[in-house]
Structure formats: structure tokens, C-alpha cells
Structure 1
Amino acid sequence: MILAEFDYVRPAGLDEALALLSGTRGAKALAGGQSLLPDLRSGADRAGLLVDIRRLAELRGIGRTTDGTRLRIGALTTLAELATDPLVLAEAPELAAAARANGDPQVRNLGTIGGNLLAAGRATDLPVAALAADAVAELAGPDGRSTVPAEELAAGPAPAGSVLTALLVPAAGPAAAFEKTADRATRYPVCATAVRITPGGPRIAVTGATSRALRLRGVEDRLRGGPYGTDAVLAAFRAEPRELFVPGRGTSAEYLGHLVGVLTARALHRAEQALAR
């Protein structure tokens, strides 16, 4: 289909972008455009105004927060940059692995972490890694700055007129991993899992096999204190209600429940190995 008509503006700063997004009916932010433009072309979405935020320097960059306990990853950081950044590889390896698993090189060079986290209706890879990392989204909107847990962001859309400015990720070192089985045609996950091993026990999140990215606290509780062997992990997943796993694309809930258990056991094993080095 041909794109419907819309207006376009490139604001000089974030405040101007926020004013346009909150004050213009049908305004949408344009960053990587990997989800928005195909949806506009297909008619799945509409926009009266595209606010191009791609050149806003304040939304770029990867570093540490002032207290040094978290990484601050700008929302316009591309998936390719996230996948190869030395600080992310050392302190949040599940995010780097999720970025590497996303699409192909063209997608990773254009797609941004903000767009990936906010891709409503799509089982993208970064939200599950953000949940396992216990990350926090930093938002700017007409009422000022705020933070929202990544888990809350995964449950619903960001507030209207707001812009995701950064992802704040607790530094974990190597004790984290990501695993995925991808749909061959779309590269979206049939099932993906991300884990972090913390002093309080594992954090485990899944997507693709479920209706949205979810922390599996029941599985976490059953595995608290270990062991993280395959048999123990599969038993923990078998105790989850089957209706948690959403069948589709030729898969059954039973198959998905087993697959996510296998991937989680593999991810936990890799995280343990990295921790032991």
C-alpha cells in the first residue's frame, strides 16, 4: 500500500519534540521507523504528524549513572551499537545478546532500543532482557520527567505525548544470558528467555511463548537457591499453568512450555559458566 498523507517536522530539541507530540492531534515520534513506517504503509496505524527525533543528541549515548550502579542507555542507541558496546557486554550481557538476535544487520543498524521496547503488539527481543535485568525506563512528557519499571512498560503503552529517553539497567557483570528460538520468516521470537543470577536468586523473563514479555516469579521461587540443572528447570516450568503459554504458528501450549524451559535451562547454564570464569 501507499503511505497515507501526513506532515513531517524535525524539532531542534527534546522540549520542542514534546510540545509537538502532546499538542498535535495524531502526532507520532519517528526514530528508527522499523515498526512505525510499515504500519503506516499497511494501514495498521495512522499519523497526522511525524516528529523526527533521530537527531536529538540528548537521547544518545551509553554510560553509567552518576552513582555508578546502573547503565544509562539512550533511547536512540541502535541495536547494533547496543550489541557491541564494551560496557553493555561486560555489565548487561543479556541486553547485548538480545540486540544481536534482533533481525538482520540492516534492522540492527536502523532500529533503536526505544522503538524495540515500545513496539506494541510485537514480541520483540529487548523487553524480555530488560525485565530480567530489572531495568527502569526513563520518560519525558508534558508533565516532566518520570521513571517506569520495564515490567510496567511491557504491560501497556507509554503515556500519550511522552518520549522514552533512556533505559536504566542495574550493572550485573557476566551473570546473565539470553536465548531465543526465532521464527525463520520474521526473526521474531517463537520463544525467547533472559535470565540474571542475583544473590537473591534468579530473575527469569520470557516472551514469544506468552501474550507479552513476562517475569516468571513462580519459576524464580521454585529455583531459588538452585540447582539450575535442566531437570530442575523443566520441573519448575511444568508447574506453571499451561494457559500461560499462548499457542500459535503451529505450536501448542505444551510444546511452548517445554521449549521455554529448555531455553531457560540453557541460559542459566551459560550465566553460571560466565560467573565461574
Structure 2
Amino acid sequence: MILTEFDYVRPLGLDRALDLLAGPGARVLAGGQSLLPGLRAGTERAGLLVDVRHLDELRGISAADGTLRIGALTTLAELAAHPLVRERAPELAAAARANGDPQVRNLGTAGGNLADRGRPTDLPVAALAAGAEVELAGPGGRTRTGVEEFTAGGVPAGSVLTALLVPAAGPAAAFEKAADRATRYPLCAAAVRITADGPRIAVTGATPRALRLRGVEDRLRGGPYTTEAVLAAFRAEPRELFVPGRGTSAEYLGHLAGVLTARALARAARITA
């Protein structure tokens, strides 16, 4: 299908972009890996595309005061390869590396992957396990919100996701994914980070959205992180937590989520040994 008719603007700065996004039908164009196919297929609508791809203030990766700041326009390829991310937030690097194919990773952005609500994507679950926050710019200025709240609500109308803020806790973290063979989106993905307070565990694909599984965390607090212990912790979760689909049952997805989490915990635990 061909694209529907819309207007296009390339603003010189973020403030002007926000002014334009206050209008009806305005959408942000960043990597475009989800929006443009959606416009072609008719599943997305836009009266105005506000192109922010050239805004340097939305790019780059830096570290300060124990936090990684990842600009929303940082590509998935840059995120996967950056030494700071690989060292201090390896679950983020692994999630970016698992996303799509090289062409998608070279064009797709961290912000777009976090904000895509049409299907499960890889970065939100890793960011959730890391205890990350997102920074938003909107009519009221800059605000920060936890990834857990953000995945439930998405980007507010008229706002732009400017950065992902990730606690730089070191290498005791991992990401595992079982991909849909046709789309490379996660059939199920799990991310973990082992902290002094116990494991942080998040799952996507098998659940309605990226979710932190606090019940599983509580059952595994203090260890051990054996496959048997992890699967038992997942079996204690309510089955309605896992959403059947694409030819799979809730029971299968719950088991798959447990297997992937056990693999991720085993890798993270080996790093701390």
C-alpha cells in the first residue's frame, strides 16, 4: 500500500517541535521503523509528521552520578555496541542487539522502541528490570517517570520522549528472548538484574505488556536461582497473567517465561561469581 496524505515539517529545535505536536493529528517521526509501515498499512494515522531525527540534543550516551543517559534518538545499533552500556547495563545492550535485523537496528531508535505500543518490543523489558526511568519533554517542561508507569500509559499527547535514564549497576544482568520467526518480535523475552536486595525480573511477549514480576522476585529472594526453583516460582503465578496467542497457550508461555528467566539468572549469577 502507499502512504496516505500528510504534511511534513523538520523543526530547527525541540521547542518548535513541541509547538507543532500540540496540533491535531501531529506525530513524531524518529526512526520510523514502526510508524511508516503502519501508515502504509492503514493501521496508523497522521495529519502532520514532525521530523526530529536531526536534533542532536536527543542523541548520545553518557554517564554521571551512577546513571546512564541514553538519548532517545540513539540507534539500537549504537546502544548495542556502546562500551558504557555493555559494561554497566548489559541487559540493555543485549536487548538492543536482539532487535530485528541490522537494517532495523541501524535506523530504529531507543525512544521509538520504548514508545511502540502496537506490539511487544525488546527494550522496555530490559529497562524495566534495570529500574530505569524515561525523560519526557512536553508543554509543562521536562518530567521523569518510571518505565513501569510509562509502558502502561505511553507518551502523553504533545510530548516527546527525550532520554532513557538507567541505573549503572554493573554487569550482573542478562536478557533472553524467544523470537517470532516471521517478525523477530519477542514471542517471550525476559530480563533480569541481580541487586543487593534480590533479583529484578521482567517479562514481555507472554504478558499483556512488559511487566515486572514481583511475586517471582519474592519467591527467589535469597536464591537459589536454579532452573527448578525459577520454574516453581513461575508456576505459582496466576495463569491469567500470561496471554495466549499466536498458537500458544497461557501454560506454554508461562513455562517459556520461566525457562528464559532461569537462563538469564544463570548468566547474571555467573558474572557475579
TM-score (norm 2): 0.99
Task: Report the residue type matching 1:129 in the other structure.
Answer: A
Q: Is residue 163 of structure 1 aligned with residue 160 of structure 2?
A: yes
SS in 2 for 1:232: helix
Structure 1: which 5+ residue stretches go unaligned? none
Kindly report which structure 2 residues correspond to 1:67-86, keeping only aligned pairs within 5 A, or say none: 68-86=65-83
Equivalent in the alignment of 2:175: 178
Task: Report the residue type matching 2:29 in the other structure.
Answer: L
Equivalent in the alignment of 2:33: 34
SS in 1 for 2:19: helix
Deviation at 1:69, TM superposition (A): 1.2
Q: Is residue 220 of structure 1 aligned with residue 217 of structure 2?
A: yes
| Structure 1 consecutive aligned stretches of length 4 or more whose deviation exceeds 3 Å | none
Question: Alignment partner for residue 248 of structure 1, among 245, 248, 251?
Answer: 245
Task: Report the residue type matching 2:104 in the other structure.
Answer: V
Equivalent in the alignment of 1:3: 3
Question: Alignment partner for residue 143 of structure 1, among 133, 140, 144?
Answer: 140
Deviation at 1:8, TM superposition (A): 0.4
Deviation at 1:121, TM superposition (A): 2.0
Task: Report the residue type matching 1:116 in the other structure.
Answer: N
Deviation sequence 1:175-219 (CA, Å, 0-9, x none): 000000000000000100000000000000000000110000000
Kindly report which structure 2 residues correspond to 1:1-277, keeping only aligned pairs within 5 A, or say none: 1-22=1-22, 24-65=23-64, 68-276=65-273
SS in 2 for 1:231: helix
Cα distance in 2 for partners of 1:156, 1:33 equals 20
Identity of aligned pairs, percent? 78
SS in 1 for 2:62: strand
Cα distance in 2 for partners of 1:4, 1:259 equals 40
Cα distance in 2 for partners of 1:179, 1:128 equals 10
Cα distance in 2 for partners of 1:157, 1:78 equals 20
Structure 2: which 5+ residue stretches go unaligned? none
Task: Report the residue type matching 2:239 in the other structure.
Answer: R
TM-score (norm 1): 0.98
Deviation sequence 1:114-137 (CA, Å, 0-9, x none): 000000121000000010000000
SS in 1 for 2:234: helix
SS in 1 for 2:184: coil
Cα contact 2:231–2:259 (8 A) shared by 1: yes
Deviation at 1:228, TM superposition (A): 0.5
Cα distance in 2 for partners of 1:244, 1:232 equals 19
Deviation at 1:45, TM superposition (A): 1.1
